[in-house]
């Protein structure tokens, strides 16, 4: 695949906060610690003070990988985590069935490539790419479906509690439908074998997801981390207790939110007074404080202050952080240098630094994941015929079609020169009228506005008339945009890996590995060869 690049600004698909962050705008400097470049990473390496237990981390990972045939590079990376010179490069995502939308894939490739680039820049240190499995998330409706072209496949079941603990015994029908789409080509059968091994042989969704991700990325050394583990939660227990009782995260994040909003940025998440859930099998419910009693919502479970402390001490795995405390948990148990996320994730991480500072937990380098648009051969041919560039594709449909008409028609369809001439004439009329009677200048302005409006409307009519002559080409533009931007959004937010894997096999991921440049901060456009 051939790659071309455009700036994130040109895509018209990213928020002001994200664009200002990657541009290094001063107004955001208080909300992060290190710049997303080699200089920032050099400082992060020098300052990283990891207090977690590397032995516990490696033992937990070894245990989790007993159900997976891990490639040698994964086993090597797990061993390296015991070394003080080893750091993780982390991305995270929910356990979407069959990997969900493409950006799941792009996150992981960004982590793999960044680890590789950092090793080249800092050869005395080791860098392990990590996929943080959001096994404790309980929003089943967000992960239970996948869209393949125009078809939506759903895993329908009554689900409760953490998604990582869900049984996969009843996913058979959805699995068969997915494999049916993959077909009988060599590439299709290869992916079908992988998903069958993942969902057909593992009883839990967490294990199935690890198997699938390992099958796709294990050869690149990616390590999957499931933090729903008592031994890991034990390291986090002091912060769990301090935050539930003292509600510190609510205070510090609320203050950061107000500061960001005062600068004109929209915040992504809002903290609660207590930012933890109580979690057991089939249960993950919010904890709330009422009259010095800590209650688990929608249950009869409640704790006094002393009982709560005892529960946290004896069963820390029952306390699950929400979206604003999960990042702190991550940085407590991983020797992490960077977190890679999408635009919304990057924005909410900017809200969290003050909370990290309070708990004296190192804040990582924040990095926007690589994004991509894959253009198949047929679409590329249409672009060549229509004379549309890869940058043109990111314009909205009407702008693209208007620009196409203006570029491909020999007639003059814009009346800018005439508007300027008319404006100058009315300015002279206004001056002459003012000399006669000062009140006439308002009448002159009104006449000018009316005349210019007529010119603008005439220009629109000329453009519409010319469009009618080119219905076929404009319809092709609509079809092209509809294919490459399904439902009007970036392809990566909707399309699953299945059609691309069927078409290109392992070459697709290999092309991403070859062409993604994490520290260049550019959007990738891939043309199929």
pTM for the full predicted model: 0.87
Q: With residue 526 as reference, give the H or E element that holds it.
A: strand 522-527
Distance CA 15, CA 343 (A): 7
- The pLDDT value recorded for residue 410 is 54
- The pLDDT value recorded for residue 141 is 93
The mean pLDDT value of the chain amounts to 93
Q: With residue 339 as reference, give the H or E element that holds it.
A: strand 336-341
Kindly give the pairing relationship between strand 283-290 and strand 293-296: antiparallel
**Burial class, 439, CB count within 10 angstroms (exposed 0-12 / middle 13-18 / buried 19+):** exposed
- The pLDDT value recorded for residue 151 is 87
pLDDT digits (tens, 9 = 90+) for 323-373: 999 999 999 999 999 999 999 999 999 999 999 999 999 999 999 999 999
Decide: 477 and 388 in contact? Cβ < 8 Å. yes
Q: Is residue 448 very low, low, confident or very high in pLDDT (cuts 50, 70, 90)?
A: confident
Mean pLDDT of 393-419: 76
DSSP codes, 82-107 = TSTTEEEEEEEE---GGG-BHHHHHH
- What percent of the chain lies above the pLDDT cut of 70? 97
Decide: 111 and 334 in contact? Cβ < 8 Å. no
pLDDT digits (tens, 9 = 90+) for 471-499: 778 888 999 999 999 989 999 999 999 99
Closest CA to 431 of 406, 409, 416, 448: 448
DSSP codes, 242-311 = HHHHH-HHHHHHHHHHHHHHHTTPPPS----SS-EEEEETTEEEEEEEETTEEEETTSS-EE-HHHHHHH
Q: Half-sphere exposure of 10 toward its Cβ, with a 13 Å CA cutoff?
A: 14
Mean pLDDT of 177-196: 95
Closest CA to 138 of 236, 269, 283: 283
Q: Which residues contact 514 (CB under 8 A, 6 or more apart)?
A: 3
Q: Is residue 4 very low, low, confident or very high in pLDDT (cuts 50, 70, 90)?
A: very high
Mean pLDDT of 151-177: 94
Distance CA 210, CA 199 (A): 10
Alpha helical stretches, state H, 409-439: 416-436
Distance CA 248, CA 239 (A): 10
Q: Is residue 447 very low, low, confident or very high in pLDDT (cuts 50, 70, 90)?
A: confident
Q: Report CA-CA distances (Å) from 302 to 21, 137, 200, 319, 489.
A: 43, 22, 39, 13, 45
Decide: 350 and 260 in contact? Cβ < 8 Å. yes
Residue bearing the bigger pLDDT, 375 or 409:
375
Distance CA 330, CA 168 (A): 26
């Amino acid at each position: 695949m051939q790659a071309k690049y455009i700036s994130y600004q040109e895509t018209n698909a990213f928020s002001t906060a994200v664009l200002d962050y990657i541009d290094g705008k001063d107004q955001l400097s208080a909300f992060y610690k290190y710049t997303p470049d080699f200089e920032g990473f050099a400082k992060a390496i020098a300052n990283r003070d990891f207090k977690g237990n590397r032995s516990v981390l490696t033992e937990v990972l070894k245990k989790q990988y007993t159900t997976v045939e891990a490639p040698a590079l994964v086993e090597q990376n797990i061993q390296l985590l015991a070394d003080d010179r080893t750091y993780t490069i982390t991305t995270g995502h929910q356990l979407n069935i069959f990997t969900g939308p493409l950006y799941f894939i792009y996150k992981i490739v960004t982590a793999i490539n960044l680890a590789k680039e950092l090793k080249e820049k800092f050869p005395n240190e080791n860098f392990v790419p990590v996929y943080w499995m959001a096994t404790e998330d309980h929003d089943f409706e967000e992960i239970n479906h996948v869209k393949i072209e125009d078809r939506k496949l759903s895993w329908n079941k009554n689900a409760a509690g953490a998604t990582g603990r869900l049984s996969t015994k009843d996913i058979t029908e959805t699995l068969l439908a997915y494999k049916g789409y993959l077909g009988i080509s060599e590439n299709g059968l290869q992916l079908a074998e992988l998903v069958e091994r993942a969902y057909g042989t593992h009883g839990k969704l967490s294990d199935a997801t690890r198997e699938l991700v390992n099958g796709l990325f294990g050869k690149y050394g990616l390590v999957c981390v499931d933090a729903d583990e008592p031994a890991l939660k034990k390291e986090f227990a002091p912060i769990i207790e301090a935050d539930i009782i003292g509600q510190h995260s609510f205070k510090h994040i609320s203050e950061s939110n107000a500061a960001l909003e005062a600068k004109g940025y929209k915040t992504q998440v809002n903290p609660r007074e207590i930012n933890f859930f109580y979690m057991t099998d089939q249960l993950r419910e919010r904890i709330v404080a009422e009259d010095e009693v800590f209650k688990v919502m929608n249950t009869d479970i409640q704790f006094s202050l002393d009982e709560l402390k005892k529960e946290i001490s004896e069963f820390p795995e029952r306390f699950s952080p929400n979206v604003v405390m999960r990042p702190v948990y991550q940085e407590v148990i991983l020797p992490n240098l960077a977190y890679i996320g999408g635009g919304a994730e990057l924005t909410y991480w900017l809200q969290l630094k003050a909370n990290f500072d309070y708990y004296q937990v190192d804040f990582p380098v924040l990095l926007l994941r690589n994004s991509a648009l894959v253009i198949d051969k047929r679409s590329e041919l249409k672009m060549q015929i229509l004379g549309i560039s890869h940058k043109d594709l990111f314009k909205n449909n009407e702008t693209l079609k208007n620009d196409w008409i203006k570029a491909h028609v020999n007639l003059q369809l814009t009346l800018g020169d005439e508007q300027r001439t008319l404006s100058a004439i009315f300015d002279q009329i206004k001056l002459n009228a003012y000399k006669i009677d000062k009140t006439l200048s308002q009448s002159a302005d009104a006449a000018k506005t009316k005349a210019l409006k007529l010119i603008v409307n005439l220009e629109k009519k000329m453009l519409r008339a010319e469009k009618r002559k080119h219905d076929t080409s404009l319809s092709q533009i609509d079809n092209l945009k509809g294919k490459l931007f399904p439902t009007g959004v970036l392809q990566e937010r909707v399309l699953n890996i299945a059609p691309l894997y069927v078409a290109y096999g392992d070459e697709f991921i290999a092309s991403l590995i070859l062409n993604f440049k994490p520290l260049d901060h550019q959007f990738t456009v891939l043309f199929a060869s």
